[in-house]
């Protein structure tokens, strides 16, 4: 679309908006008729540690949303000379999980307890045993049950329990609903019914009744909706919350609010069975859309869903590129000491490219890049370390390869569980800083997981764009049209990108490296114990 067409499109009120509240940034993305981003605005914020709880104040939520939206409006005006006063559709996304309870009058009953808190270990363990389903500490139901175990006075007064995305959506349009992908981070989902698992609901209700609570879980949880369903219309009050200037009109169609995992799947076109995506930066996680549920509970794997309710296996690792960044900084210091004109970008590009030139098994050099604990390998804390046998080949290329491979080894260990479960994966799409050097991280990951890895130009658009696409599907999807078809035919058709297939010999080399990595974990555990 050219500038004049975009201006007319915006002024006609046809543009679609997606906003995502991430852990450090709130970003708004406006898309045009071809689904491509036409403007954006953002706001930087930080969580607070108050009384031992990681939280955000709700006043900060609205200040951040309003600032991000105002910056978007300014961007639209600067680029197209257009005044943004009306939207066709809108959707809000946020970091998943956490705990936001309200009473019948809409009063907040406890501080917003975010996904980052690890205060629900007792509840998560008991619920996992009771339900026969892995309940991570960050899930909303774990927070609720922990509050019950703690005897917190507010629990009896809960009328509505929601997530951050659900809260913002509720305030904008009055509807207490969640997209199924976001809901799957509150409570387990029955994918056949695209709703909370009723047998598990009954089990938790029994626990609540024994403790004397009068509410039923379904009464306090948001209603579950699939992608494209009617999640309400932005009210005049909601429009004023988003745009305090009063210029934004009410009436935008609201998409079911989703979590950042679901919007990431949409933004990478990984919502169909046997597809998935790998997001790799400071942490790394893989989302694999399953054809059927796994045969048993694995503590290393979270079970969530796509925005249409399909089961998704999530392997999440706390550590990825932090150790690469630390070593890159050291190498930059060396270059500076030698008075060499070398940028940090040069360091990263040469480090990643050198990784492709090393021995397939890294020549006996093993990097354990754990800055923090890593549940997938059973460690609560981390001590970054590099170990090698005396006869190892410590070349720059092997050193570089051990960094780049080591960053993905914990993920590989978790993903190998899915291999044992005979999970079929036709395609995986990578996005994030790990893939910035063309072909390098992509090649290593393809060999590590023995699966073709694609990187698309649009993958960098991220979750806010994914939420805008879900809002566009809500407004423009045809009756009977699936989200998969909509994305394939109207959004990603002809999208540019590259795919790298695994090499058998390179894959065998990384299997050998992984075996050495696992042997080194005993030394890592000892370092955690002894180095305080």
What is the rounded distance in angstroms from the CA atom of residue 367 to the CA atom of residue 365? 7
Q: What percent of the chain has pLDDT over 90?
A: 88
Q: What is residue 471's predicted lDDT score, i.e. its pLDDT?
A: 98
Task: Tell me the two tokens of residue 376.
Answer: 């997938």
Secondary structure (3-state) at 123: helix
Helix residue ranges, H only, 97-233: 121-131, 140-149, 164-173, 180-183, 198-210, 217-220
Fold of the domain spanning 97-161+187-220: Nucleotidyltransferase; domain 5 (3.30.420)
Amino acid 223: pLDDT:
98
8 A C-beta contact, residue 2 and residue 74: no
Query: What are the C-alpha distances in Å from 327 to residues 331, 366, 392, 402, 406?
Result: 6, 14, 20, 12, 13
Tens digits of per-residue pLDDT, 22-65? Answer: 988 999 999 999 999 999 999 999 999 999 999 999 999 999 99
pTM of the model: 0.87
pLDDT value at residue 226: 97
Give the CB-side neighbour count of residue 517, counting CA atoms within 13 A.
25
pLDDT, residue 300, reads: 86
pLDDT-derived band at 372 (thresholds 50, 70, 90) equals confident
Which residue, chain included where needed, has tokens 């599907």?
A: 473
Alpha-carbon gap, residue 99 to 49, rounded angstroms: 15
Q: Are 418 and 474 in contact (CB under 8 A)?
A: no
Strand partners, 279: 285, 431
Cα Rg of the chain, angstroms: 24
- Average pLDDT estimate for 414-437: 91
- Per-residue confidence band for 463, with pLDDT thresholds at 50, 70 and 90: confident
Provide the pLDDT for residue 291: 93
Helix axes 344-355, 322-337, angle to 10 degrees: 120
Mean pLDDT across 197-202: 98
* DSSP-assigned letter for residue 258: E
Query: According to the CATH classification, is domain 268-460+497-532 in 3.30.930.10?
Result: no
Token pair for 354: 């050198």
Three-state DSSP class for residue 220: helix
Q: Is the pLDDT of residue 1 over 80?
A: no
CATH 3.30.420.40 occupies which residues in the chain? 97-161+187-220, 268-460+497-532
The predicted pLDDT at position 456 comes to: 84
pLDDT in tens, 301-348: 999 999 999 999 999 888 999 999 999 999 999 999 999 999 999 999
Is 34:92 a contact under the CB 8 Å cutoff? Answer: no
Cα→Cα distances 348→119, 352, 435, Å: 37, 6, 11
Q: Which of 285, 278, 320, 282 is nearest to 302 (CA)?
A: 285
């Amino acid at each position: 679309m050219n500038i004049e067409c975009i201006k007319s499109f915006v002024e006609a009120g046809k543009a679609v908006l997606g906003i995502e509240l991430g852990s450090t940034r709130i970003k708004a993305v406006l898309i045009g008729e071809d689904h491509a981003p036409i403007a954006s605005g953002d706001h930087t914020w930080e969580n607070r540690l108050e009384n031992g709880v990681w939280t955000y104040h709700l006043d900060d939520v609205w200040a951040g949303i309003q600032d991000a939206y105002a910056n978007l409006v300014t961007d639209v005006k600067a680029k197209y000379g257009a005044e943004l006063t009306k939207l066709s559709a809108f959707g809000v996304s946020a970091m998943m999980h956490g705990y936001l309870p309200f009473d019948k009058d809409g009063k907040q009953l406890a501080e917003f307890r975010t996904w980052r808190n690890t205060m629900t270990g007792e509840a998560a363990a008991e619920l996992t045993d009771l339900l026969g389903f892995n309940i991570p500490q960050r899930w909303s139901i774990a927070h609720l049950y922990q509050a019950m175990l703690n005897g917190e006075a507010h629990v009896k007064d809960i009328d509505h329990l929601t997530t951050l995305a659900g809260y913002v959506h509720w305030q904008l349009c009055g509807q207490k609903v969640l997209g199924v992908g976001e809901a799957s981070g509150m409570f387990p989902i029955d994918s056949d019914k695209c709703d909370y698992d009723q047998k598990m609901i009954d089990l938790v209700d029994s626990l609540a009744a024994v403790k004397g609570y009068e509410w039923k879980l379904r009464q306090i949880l948001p209603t579950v909706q699939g992608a494209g369903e009617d999640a309400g219309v932005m009210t005049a009050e909601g429009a004023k919350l988003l745009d305090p200037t009063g210029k934004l009109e009410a009436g935008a169609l609201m998409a079911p609010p989703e979590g950042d995992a679901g919007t990431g799947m949409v933004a990478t076109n990984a919502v169909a069975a046997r597809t998935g995506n790998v997001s790799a930066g400071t942490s790394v996680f893989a989302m694999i859309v399953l054809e059927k549920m796994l045969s048993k509970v694995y503590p290393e794997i979270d079970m969530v869903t796509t925005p249409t309710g399909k089961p998704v296996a999530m392997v999440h690792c706390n550590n990825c590129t932090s150790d690469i960044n630390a070593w890159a900084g050291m190498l930059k210091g060396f270059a500076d000491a030698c008075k060499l004109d070398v940028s940090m970008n040069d360091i990263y590009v040469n480090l990643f490219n050198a990784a492709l030139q090393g021995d397939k098994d890294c020549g006996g050099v093993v990097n354990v890049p754990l800055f923090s604990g890593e549940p997938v390998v059973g460690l609560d804390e981390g001590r970054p370390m590099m170990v090698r046998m005396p006869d190892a080949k410590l070349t720059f290329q092997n050193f570089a390869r051990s960094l780049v491979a080591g960053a993905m080894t914990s993920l590989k260990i978790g993903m190998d569980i899915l291999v044992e479960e005979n999970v079929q994966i036709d395609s995986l799409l990578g996005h994030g800083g790990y893939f910035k050097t063309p072909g390098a991280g992509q090649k290593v990951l393809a060999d590590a997981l023995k699966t073709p890895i694609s990187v698309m130009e649009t993958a960098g658009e991220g979750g806010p764009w994914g939420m805008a696409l879900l809002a566009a599907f809500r407004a423009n999807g045809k009756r009977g049209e699936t989200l998969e078809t909509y994305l394939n035919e109207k959004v990603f058709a002809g999208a540019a990108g590259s795919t790298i297939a695994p090499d058998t010999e390179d894959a065998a080399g990384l299997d050998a490296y992984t075996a050495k990595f696992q042997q080194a974990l005993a030394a890592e555990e000892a370092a955690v114990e002894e180095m305080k």
